[in-house]
Structure 1
Amino acid sequence: MKILVTTDFSLNSKTAIQFAANFSNQIKGAELIFYSAVEMMQPASWNLSFYKKYVAEEKHRLTKELEKFISSTSGVNKNIVNKSKFVIDFTKGTEKAIIDYAAKSKCQFICIATNGAGVLRKLMGTHTSYLVNHSPVPVMAIPSKYKTKAIKKITYVSDFENLVTELNKVAKLNSLLKGQTEALHYARMGVNHPDTLKKIKIFSKANYIGIKPNVLETNIEYSLVDRLTKYIGKQHPDLIILFTRQKKGFFEQLFLPSKAAELTFSTKIPTLIYPKK
């Protein structure tokens, strides 16, 4: 497994580095690629030969700086640093460069820190928003104030669409983490509706033993955001898993309205977002 860990050398980005290092230790074997995209264009007054020489020198210098930055980050031991790859990428567009490099390197995840008040709110802005809505590689969004700890309790928020496809991905990750995962679903048609009961039976298959369905009635008086905020605030999972439709505004429709800015759990809990097929 390969994880592309993005950093801009800021203090906020250290939470993603710490999370990725801990994640790698927990599943025993993930390869970490620490990556920084630097926007650069050739000045009109520079000839190509001089520009190429400058790029080569800067890439060497910044790669050394990146190694030092990672090594100085608490929670990252020397063993991880020695096994990791460090990449400086000069580019015209940061977000697309991250996606292209992750795809080219066949990474299973992109890990990025988010700034400010909360993961789900901040997914609507800057780099993380673009990655969530365009990257074919799942994105791990880590809050800037997150305190690293083992991932034992996972909440997978499901709409029960494409359930088998999603469960296969969640079950694989759950097996690697050796965690306990619940599939949280708000039943629009009712907990005892035949379609709901049919979907619940899928969880009895041997492949999904480590995932327990938790089907709740939908209270239309409250938005999904409000229900999730209240529920996750009580349960305190170590990781939230979501699947989102890309390029169709689904994610924004889900989290921007109402009280998205007040999502208290999002200041503390990492969120893994898979593109929904």
Structure 2
Amino acid sequence: MLKILIPTDLGRGSRAGMRFAIQWARQQKARLIFFHAAYIPRPTRWSEKKYEAYRIEELNLRQRRLHQMAASALTRADAHDQAYDCIIVEGISPEVTLQDYCRKHRDIDFICMSTGGAAGLHRFWGTHAGNMITQATTPVIVVPKGYRTIPVRRLLYATDLNHYQEELEKIVPLVHHLQAELHILHLVGPDEMLPDKDLFEKVIRQEFHVETQIHLEIMDETRSVAANLHKFIQKMKPSLVVMFTDRRRTLFEKIFYPSKAESFAFRTHTPLMAFSKH
């Protein structure tokens, strides 16, 4: 069974990630893991006994809040029979604690988090969501704070066409499980030869046994790569955008690293799935 981990700081900002994960579990059988990284500092004047009593009390309080939050999200989504767990792990850094948990639990398939799911998350890179995308080995789904639940019916895979075969090996199973359409977007640069669209679609259909639509969009040189992508997303309205995070890959670097990600993440209501290449 698929396992989706949903980090939360127990605030309202993380609800978007919960809504998306619950919707995913409607379409593909999955177990949801609501996860909270707890840092409970110790006042220097407190005795060990006093601090330990406070720590236990605080952990119990957060455990109850996590269960209440998960139950409330599932009730609002009318997903009363959804299988789930609530996990609290102590750690100073939320992203380090989360990554360590995923390394120890290799059966976690995806991390699904909201861009508004951590205190002070006003920028993207250098924050929890941005750090998770660049550092985590587990695929990360980043859901914009204002996301409203819709079925995942249209996946947009944005690619520079380098290593697309090994990347499609990861994407196509998702397409089949979700019974979704697969669209492949390639932004064509000014000095680039235009691929044969019909031949490309035929090759993918024969090799991966999936129907797809190839979109070869000529870049508007007066706009950034991120702006070109955003324009296409607005026109097509996919349910999910899928990319790969190897910084050596020019497409990802141009769109997301280091300063474009905040603009992209907050200008669109479309969730982003990032697969790690390292």
Q: TM-score, normalised by structure 1?
A: 0.84
**Corresponding position of 1:85:** 85
Change (3 A) 1:200 1:223: farther
Counterpart code for 1:67: H
Using the alignment, how far apart are the partners of 1:100 and 1:39 within structure 2?
A: 15
Change (3 A) 1:105 1:19: same
Of 167, 190, 194, 1:191 maps to 194
Change (3 A) 1:169 1:227: same
Cα distance, 1:218 vs structure 2:
3.6
Q: Kindly provide the CA deviation profile for residues 186-228 of structure 1, in whole angstroms up to 9, marking residues without a partner as x.
A: 23422147xx998665413242413332223344333211211
Using the alignment, how far apart are the partners of 1:2 and 1:226 within structure 2?
A: 33
Matches within 5 A, 1:24-43: 24-27=25-28, 29-43=29-43
Matches within 5 A, 1:40-59: 40-46=40-46, 48=48, 51-59=51-59
Counterpart code for 1:207: F
Cα distance, 1:19 vs structure 2:
1.0
1:22 counterpart = 2:29: no
Tell me if the contact between 1:137 and 1:274 (Cα under 8 Å) persists in the aligned partners: yes
Tell me if the contact between 1:229 and 1:265 (Cα under 8 Å) persists in the aligned partners: no
Counterpart code for 1:191: L
Tell me if the contact between 2:112 and 2:142 (Cα under 8 Å) persists in the aligned partners: yes
Cα distance, 1:152 vs structure 2:
0.5
Change (3 A) 1:35 1:236: same
**Corresponding position of 2:237:** 236
Using the alignment, how far apart are the partners of 1:248 and 1:192 within structure 2?
A: 19
| Residue aligned with 1:141, SS | strand
**Corresponding position of 1:209:** 210
Q: TM-score, normalised by structure 2?
A: 0.84
* Alignment coverage as a number of residue pairs: 268
**Corresponding position of 1:129:** 130
| Residue aligned with 2:156, SS | strand
Cα distance, 1:10 vs structure 2:
1.3
Using the alignment, how far apart are the partners of 2:5 and 2:111 within structure 1?
A: 5
Q: Kindly provide the CA deviation profile for residues 22-72 of structure 1, in whole angstroms up to 9, marking residues without a partner as x.
A: 111111x21110001112344444555654554344323321211111222
Give the % identical residues.
Answer: 26
Change (3 A) 1:208 1:216: farther
Tell me if the contact between 1:203 and 1:212 (Cα under 8 Å) persists in the aligned partners: no
Change (3 A) 1:192 1:161: closer
Counterpart code for 1:183: I
Q: Kindly provide the CA deviation profile for residues 223-261 of structure 1, in whole angstroms up to 9, marking residues without a partner as x.
A: 211211111111111111111115999856423688766
Using the alignment, how far apart are the partners of 1:51 and 1:112 within structure 2?
A: 31
Task: Structure 2: state its 5+ residue gaps.
Answer: none
Using the alignment, how far apart are the partners of 2:52 and 2:250 within structure 1?
A: 40
Counterpart code for 1:65: R
Using the alignment, how far apart are the partners of 2:78 and 2:19 within structure 1?
A: 6
Tell me if the contact between 2:8 and 2:34 (Cα under 8 Å) persists in the aligned partners: yes
Using the alignment, how far apart are the partners of 1:227 and 1:238 within structure 2?
A: 18
- Higher mean C-alpha displacement, 249-258 vs 232-241: 249-258
1:169 counterpart = 2:170: yes
CA RMSD, aligned part only? 3.0
Using the alignment, how far apart are the partners of 1:89 and 1:258 within structure 2?
A: 31
